[in-house]
Chains A and B, each alone.
Chain A
Amino acid sequence: MPILSKDESQAILKKVLSFSTADECQASLSGRTVGNIRYARNNVSTAGVSDNVSLAVEARFGKRSGVATCNQFDDATLRRCVQRAEEIARLAPEDQEYMPLLGPQQYLTPVSYATSTAAIRPDFRAQAAADSIALSSSKQLTAAGYLEDGAYFQALRNNKGLEAYQQSTGLDFSVTVRTPDGTGSGYAVADFTDATKFNAKNLTQIAADKAAGSRNAKALEPGKYTVILEPAALVSDEGLLNNLVYNFGAREADEGRSFLSKKGGGNRKGDKLFDSRISIYSDPLNAQAPGSVFDGEGLPVKRINWVEKGVVKNLYYSRYWAQKNGVEPTAFAGNFIMEGGTQSTADLIKSTAKGILVTRLWYIRDVDPQTLLYTGLTRDGTFYIENGKIKFPIKNFRFNESPVIMLNNIEAIGRPQRLGGNLVPPLKIRDFTFTSLSDAV
């Protein structure tokens, strides 16, 4: 039973705390049941399921702390786990950045769980793969895709009165469709809390259209171009916007080693660093891209503005750094939302005299943390736009660009879409810097 209810999990945690003799004790229980299917060359390659539940106990004596974990839940094991955490705590040196455990907290009511997703069985995954493969086979194209779905829970409790519980679900799908001769490639990606919104066929159709349309790409000279970056070009495991948000740490800025460090000392909170149309915030209750209502330490997650009308409004403060600086700590938010308008990507194309449509950016690596300069390449669907229409596919480019510069060169902002648990609009940007050509398809 990897997904425990609130009552089941709190009952275990209460028992764990009752075994503790430490000054402070906090216990966390988390579980997941995750399934996946992977296919390539229009064939299923691997598929599997994995379940797990894990308990972590932190015991503290004064400023000394110890952690132990287990994944069996009989009384003897739980008691041993608590004892081990206490034993480790007694031997540990004092933590120079010690913060007392939190007391009772008020949390928002989470909206991050859908029964449809938790109910997924292997035949659902096999059918999704079959639909995707059938569509690409029917067009003499080749699909490679990956579907992963999961149900999760997290429960926290401590001897200072803190109690927290949340369930969540998620489904992630991506597909790359290629022409058999390797001259065309297209990509589609989407993620959902509620699996009923997922349609493998429709997403594969988008990737297939891009693959077929990207055959016989022409080479353009590298240089500065107006670009329309689709959400998959802005957000990924290594995306430019993810990287921007990850670099909002107050400590690094105060220490002088961040793009948000101020010359002479301090940080750039309050400075206008971006175009006035840029607003980025986190909100666990966003219906389209919900997040966690508490973080790993039990701090409540609430809506927080990072950038408002181009001005840096907040930085991320750990509890320690917040106390040192006399400010409120920032709960670690699981998502971010960039505000946008109502235009679709198609609308943005229509209003473009000359420009480039970018489906996806890839292999993005930092080049200079001082300026947040990143490099990477376009991939799986890059097209030249002229007089409001896609004219022809073009060869992929390498870019060298900073999201800070990019968000000052805004031409238009489209309608936000969910991606990677975030909400991100397609962006039209002028003077985006492409530095070389790639023959990769």
Chain B
Amino acid sequence: MNRRDFVGLSGLATGALLLPSFPGFGGTLVDPAQLLEQVDPAVKKRLADAALNAAKSAGATYADVRIGRYLNQSIFTREKQVQNIANTESYGAGVRVIANGTWGFSATNVVTEEGLAKAAKLAVEIAKANAKVQKQPVQLAPQRGYGEVSWKTPIQQNAFEVPVKEKAELLLAANAKALENGASFVNSSLFQINEQKYFASTDGSYIDQDIHRIWPTFSATAIDRASGKFRTRDALSSPMGMGYEYMVPKAVDKIAGPSGTGLIGYKNSYDILEDATLAAQQAKAKLTAKSVTAGKYDLVLDPNHLGLTIHESIGHATELDRVLGYEANYAGTSFATLEWKAKNLPYGSKVVNIVADKTQVGSLGAVGYDDEGVKTGQWDIIKEGKLVDYQKIRDQAAIVGQDHSDGCCYAQSWQDVQFQRMANISLKPGTQKMSVDDMIKGVDKGVYIAGRGSFSIDQQRYNFQFGGTVFYAIEKGKIAGMLEDVAYQANTQEFWNSCAATCDQSDYRLFGSFFDGKGQPSQVSAVSHGSATTRFNAVNVINTARKIG
């Protein structure tokens, strides 16, 4: 450990004694050098067997154990200073069992054979206690054991191996670009996650996985003191299931945005300096941009915006736990019930083809096996506008008459129980050659939107309202200046049925949600959504400007 590994740990002084509390980052602060250590799989196998044997002896008919080391490093800066660097580690094990037809779960940070055996017995005890209230026994889809296998995110450079100083300096360089180009304030951050997780079950699987994710982001704010007006423009990066190679810009990954916007889309690498420069210029331009006139517009949506609309209106709506009512008290249910699906109504137009994929390289959801030992794959959710399947896990398959899980089970850490989480849900690009400029040429009166903004949707996924990061008017086939105060309100089925065209594969990119919340107690998960720029006709746009005293 030397000085160059530590920049701005001083930021921790503020509220230093409060452990990091942002979503999913619970855990113990550690020395960065410890982030590179790995636990030997042979040791984990011995520990796992102790838990599985104890569970079976106590009366479990099924048991699985997850021994996890969850590492996070996050760097926060503002303007010219590093505010906080947090290195956290959380190490422990969770044991899940079925006894008397009922689930039980217990977790411990005492990762010894005795500690895991004790947790296994407690899990069986809880299952048996709750079995008294249980009416229908849990029915698991059959799953073969894979023996001893492993999987790793295919990264080129482990972000945890890059010195903190280098990463902090890159963020400060991006801040400098923003300040030089007219931002009054800028906050930037880099989140890095490494899940080293070991899964074993009574089905005979021993699965060792090493998962990596990364997310650089910033927010540039321009202020006009005289009028009191302020506007922000956030980064157009995407969180990815990648290593530090995402932070090294490559020309081949850049896609020019619509002519007249200066925007650049990023595929598998991101140019934070370039984006921060443009962000500051656009934040300033937003201060004097024209306020939108409410009405019907054709929308042309960039993949870095559309991903969130896909996430909320298709991703969540087709999660089987929501459809069945397991999330009724919090996240909600879904309009796309089994009865609704049986009616064979159009979810969207013929160009809407949605695929679920847990294997897509570079995506946040890519793993070899899920958190209940099911090998991952890809499957169709919507084909030519019709809903054909849901996202499900082992204890749901039988309820819909299927005999297999889709491999969608996930827990945010060893101490949380695994449950059904969203797979990468993506819109297939168009098969006809079409660039974003080609698409805009055909729009008479429209709005082009890039980046995520305010987003809200009801608990059954009918009515939504989305903002964005930047908005441009489209008039007679051309970009016609920046707009502000834009949000669109639509109904999921109407919106996807108004989908007119999608650009081709060359425009396809991943959007990501790094901290998607669901469940009680709430857990986060990370998921990507791919698409090419897509057009929706005659969508209701509202003006969000207000006056307060």
Q: What is the distance, in angstroms, from A80's C-beta to the closest C-beta of chain B? A: 11
B interface residue count range (under 10 / 10 to 19 / 20 to 34 / 35 or more): 35 or more
Does B106 reach chain A (CB closer than 8 Å)? yes
- Flag B198-235 by CB within 8 Å of A: 1 or 0 each: 00000000000000000000000101011111101000
Does B549 reach chain A (CB closer than 8 Å)? yes
Residues of A within 8 A of B133 (CB): 39, 43-44, 126, 129-130, 133
**Given contacts A54-B19, A133-B133, A256-B230, is CB(A182)–CB(B105) below 8 Å?**
no
- B134 adjacent to A43 (CB under 8 Å): yes
CA distance A45 to B7 in the complex (A): 46
Which residues of chain A from 396 to 434 have any CB-CB distance to chain B below 8 Å in the complex? 396, 398, 400, 402, 404-405, 408
Does B35 reach chain A (CB closer than 8 Å)? no
Does B345 reach chain A (CB closer than 8 Å)? no
Does A328 reach chain B (CB closer than 8 Å)? no
Stretch binding the partner chain, chosen from A93-101, A110-118, A333-341, A343-351: A93-101
- A440 adjacent to B542 (CB under 8 Å): no
- Flag B9-21 by CB within 8 Å of A: 1 or 0 each: 1111111111100
Q: What is the distance, in angstroms, from A20's C-beta to the closest C-beta of chain B? A: 14
Does A296 reach chain B (CB closer than 8 Å)? yes
Residues of A within 8 A of B542 (CB): 400, 435
Partner of A93, one of B7, B31, B329: B7
- A50 adjacent to B13 (CB under 8 Å): no
- A44 adjacent to B134 (CB under 8 Å): yes
Residue of B29, B132, B335, B485 with most chain A CB atoms under a 10 A cut-off: B29
Stretch binding the partner chain, chosen from A3-11, A225-233, A258-266: A258-266
CA distance A69 to B545 in the complex (A): 47
Does B178 reach chain A (CB closer than 8 Å)? no
CA distance A146 to B55 in the complex (A): 26
Q: What is the distance, in angstroms, from A149's C-beta to the closest C-beta of chain B? A: 12
Partner of B130, one of A47, A89, A182: A47
Residue of A58, A91, A99 with most chain B CB atoms under a 10 A cut-off: A91
Does A356 reach chain B (CB closer than 8 Å)? no
Residues of A within 8 A of B415 (CB): 50
CA distance A263 to B548 in the complex (A): 13
Q: What is the distance, in angstroms, from B325's C-beta to the closest C-beta of chain A? A: 5
- Flag A38-67 by CB within 8 Å of B: 1 or 0 each: 111111111111101010101010011111
Nearest A residue to B105, CB-CB: A48
Residues of B within 8 A of A64 (CB): 10
Which residues of chain A from 173 to 189 have any CB-CB distance to chain B below 8 Å in the complex? 174-176, 178, 182, 185, 187
**Given contacts A60-B13, A146-B330, is CB(A436)–CB(B489) below 8 Å?**
yes
**Given contacts A43-B135, A69-B29, A144-B326, is CB(A372)–CB(B9) below 8 Å?**
no
- B28 adjacent to A371 (CB under 8 Å): no
- Flag A197-227 by CB within 8 Å of B: 1 or 0 each: 0000000000000000000000000000000
CA distance A257 to B222 in the complex (A): 9
- Flag B514-549 by CB within 8 Å of A: 1 or 0 each: 000000110000000000000000001010111111
**Given contacts A56-B19, A377-B458, A405-B548, is CB(A40)–CB(B325) below 8 Å?**
yes
Residues of B within 8 A of A176 (CB): 328-329
Which residues of chain A from 70 to 95 have any CB-CB distance to chain B below 8 Å in the complex? 70-71, 84, 87-89, 91-95
- A263 adjacent to B226 (CB under 8 Å): yes
**Given contacts A28-B17, A40-B329, A88-B6, is CB(A71)–CB(B28) below 8 Å?**
yes
Q: What is the distance, in angstroms, from A13's C-beta to the closest C-beta of chain B? A: 11
Q: What is the distance, in angstroms, from A120's C-beta to the closest C-beta of chain B? A: 14
Q: What is the distance, in angstroms, from A154's C-beta to the closest C-beta of chain B? A: 9
Residue of B18, B134, B227, B456 with most chain A CB atoms under a 10 A cut-off: B456
CA distance A126 to B126 in the complex (A): 10
- Can you add 9 more A-B contacts, CB < 8 Å, to A144-B327, A257-B185? A36-B521, A44-B133, A44-B134, A46-B103, A67-B12, A71-B109, A371-B546, A436-B489, A439-B462
Report 26 cross-chain contacts, Cβ distance below 8 Å, ordered by A residue.
Answer: A37-B130, A38-B520, A40-B325, A45-B326, A48-B107, A49-B106, A49-B122, A49-B126, A52-B109, A58-B12, A68-B29, A91-B3, A93-B6, A130-B133, A176-B329, A256-B223, A257-B184, A257-B223, A257-B232, A273-B548, A362-B332, A367-B487, A370-B229, A377-B456, A379-B458, A440-B335
